[in-house]
Amino acid sequence: MSKHGFTTGIVHGDRIAGTEHGGVRQPIHTSVQYGFERVEDLIGVFQGTKKGGFNYARQGTPTTAALERKITSLEGGTGTVCFSTGMAAITATFLTLLRAGDHLVSSRYVFGNTNSLFGTLRTLGVEVTTVDASDAENVKNAIQPNTRMVFVETIANPGTQIPDLQGIGALCRERGLVYVVDNTITSPALFQPKAVGASLVINSLTKTIAGHGAALGGAVTDTGLFDWSAYPNIADDYRRSPAKDQGLLQIRKKGLRDMGASLSSEQAHAIAMGAETLALRVKQSSDNALALAQFLEGHEAIGKVFYPGLKSHPQYEVAQALFKGASWLLSFELLNAERMIDVVNALKLPIKATGLGDTRTLIIPVAPTIFFEAGAQTRKAMGISDGMLRLSAGIEDIDDLIADFSQALKLAA
Ligand SMILES: *Cc1c(COP(=O)(O)O)cnc(C)c1O
């Protein structure tokens, strides 16, 4: 499949891998248990010696396996494990690969719920240090003898900060650290973290990859770059497998079988349907985001615009060098925060809703919603002003979006 282009691989992958009756996509397999003619085969599935078999849907179904193959191909990886949500994928990665006494270094600018999860890790005895990861030196200075993993996101939400992805990759390779990159905002349509040396890639399938806002899902992909034989936290049971498989095997066994946040076949199917148009949607929504960012940057009612496709963005060069586009995510500040409610209510097209990477444009005021719990002090430290709005650009016709913002911003004075 890898000999085909990005979208060709997505739309023909199931059929080429083989489906019943020549179906163009893998059907929705609803069986929870899978039976065998010969008990030796059942035993083989349990022991991992019979490849490609299924025994119980908590550990996967043919439908989730087809989606896993798709994500693996999109990320250029060696294997993928899917979960019921992006947060389940992140939680499983941390809890299966880190132990009490270990240390994790992360960017200071990560998804709010991931940041909240760091608090849980600390209660379990995992040390977490967060730094400004736009400079790999800061990550380097945070490394301790017990550091095992570095975690970053490609583009942070809502501030659109971009870490020194390349520099951190080189650092992790040199120090033998697991490098985990959350690729949710960029998606493999804009960026493959494997190119900067990521060991594991996380995608919230709910967002860009599904694109329709009608299914939740998450995925962890192994890029094949990390040497798991040298990683101390692999259980003896999984050491018997080839070194390249050990990390993902432990994530699947502990994270999916034991912890159980499994993706259903129905949701996997809905995500796979959305994924077919991934590249087309991301192109259109990123073009829309850039046009909106340029329009807003020139508008008298707007203060800062945070978008990596603008020359004013601190990591503009990084985005140009690494990403095929600067994504559909942008944030901007209304100079007069007191007018925010009226301006947002006057918008007719953008949906006032949380969520990201949808075909429809979504808008949300940041301080009173997703960063309300964080408190005023944390918001200030993270550069989130009271007038900040986050926009997830959709695939609408750009003239309609610009016209709508033009009329709504008349109320901003
Ligand atoms: C939404 C999001 C997640 C969590 O994904 P869910 O599928 O909503 O659990 C993780 N990381 C990033 C960057 C996200 O935007």
Describe the crossing of helices 86-97 and 112-123 by its angle, rounded to 10 degrees: 30
**Is the separation of the CB atoms in 170 and 197 below 8 Å?**
yes
For 193, 205, 241, the CA distances from 179, given in Å and listed in that order, are 10, 20, 22
Give the model's confidence band at 1: pLDDT under 50 very low, under 70 low, under 90 confident, else very high: very low
* Residues 250, 299 share a domain: no
337 lies in some domain: yes
Is 267 close to ligand 1, i.e. is its CB under 6 Å away?
no
* Residues 203, 80 share a domain: yes
* Residues 407, 310 share a domain: yes
158 upstream amide cis, omega within 30 of 0: yes
* Residues 304, 249 share a domain: no
CATH code, domain carrying 74: 3.40.640.10
Report how far Cα 130 is from the mean position of its chain's Cα atoms: 19
CA of 204 to the centre of ligand 1 (A): 5
CA of 124 to the centre of ligand 1 (A): 22
Is 85 close to ligand 1, i.e. is its CB under 6 Å away?
yes
Cβ neighbours of 305 (radius 10 Å):
21
Residue nearest to atom 6 of ligand 1 (CA): 86
* Residues 270, 346 share a domain: no
Give the model's confidence band at 355: pLDDT under 50 very low, under 70 low, under 90 confident, else very high: very high
Index of the ligand 1 atom closest to the CA of residue 218: 7
Index of the ligand 1 atom closest to the CA of residue 206: 7
CA of 251 to the centre of ligand 1 (A): 18
Instruction: Find all residues with CB under 8 Å of 3, minimum gap 6, and list them.
Output: none
Largest CA distance in the chain: 75
54 lies in some domain: no
43 lies in some domain: no
Is 193 close to ligand 1, i.e. is its CB under 6 Å away?
no
Domain end: 245, 275, 305, which one? 275
Cβ neighbours of 8 (radius 10 Å):
12
**What's the mean per-residue pLDDT of the chain?**
96
Is 390 close to ligand 1, i.e. is its CB under 6 Å away?
no
Query: What pLDDT, on a 0 to 100 scale, did the predictor assign at position 208?
Result: 97
CA of 319 to the centre of ligand 1 (A): 21
Q: What is the DSSP letter of 11?
A: H
Query: What pLDDT, on a 0 to 100 scale, did the predictor assign at position 376?
Result: 93
* CA 271/CA 207 separation, integer angstroms: 10
Query: What pLDDT, on a 0 to 100 scale, did the predictor assign at position 51?
Result: 83
Task: Summarize pLDDT for 20-77 with one digit per residue, the tens.
Answer: 999 999 999 999 999 999 999 999 998 888 888 899 999 999 999 999 999 999 999 9
Index of the ligand 1 atom closest to the CA of residue 217: 7
* Residues 238, 288 share a domain: no
* Residues 295, 376 share a domain: yes
From 184, 186, 205, 208, mutation site for ligand 1 pocket: most ligand atoms within 8 A of C-beta: 184
Lowest mean pLDDT among 19-23, 169-173, 195-199, 308-312: 19-23
What residue spans of 48-197 are helical by DSSP H? 62-75, 86-97, 112-123, 136-142, 165-175, 187-190
From 201, 207, 264, mutation site for ligand 1 pocket: most ligand atoms within 8 A of C-beta: 207
Domain end: 212, 243, 275, which one? 275
CA of 76 to the centre of ligand 1 (A): 21
The total number of residues written for the chain in this structure = 413
**Is the separation of the CB atoms in 231 and 247 below 8 Å?**
yes
Q: For residue 137, is pLDDT > 60?
A: yes
Determine the Cα angle at 392 with ends 390 and 394, to 5°: 150
From 113, 201, 327, mutation site for ligand 1 pocket: most ligand atoms within 8 A of C-beta: 113
**Is the separation of the CB atoms in 167 and 121 below 8 Å?**
no
Tally the domains of the chain.
2
44 lies in some domain: no
Percent of the chain with pLDDT over 90: 94
Is 216 close to ligand 1, i.e. is its CB under 6 Å away?
yes
* Residues 227, 191 share a domain: yes
Domain end: 240, 256, 275, which one? 275
Q: For residue 351, is pLDDT > 90?
A: yes
Residue type (1 letter), 57: A
Task: Summarize pLDDT for 202-211 with one digit per residue, the tens.
Answer: 999 999 999 9
Give the model's confidence band at 2: pLDDT under 50 very low, under 70 low, under 90 confident, else very high: low
Determine the structural domain holding residue 225 and report its residue range: 6-30+61-275
> Which residues sit opposite 342 in a β-bridge?
none
Q: For residue 110, is pLDDT > 80?
A: yes
* Residues 328, 268 share a domain: no
* Residues 292, 171 share a domain: no
By C-alpha distance, which of 132, 181, 194, 177 is closest to 153?
181
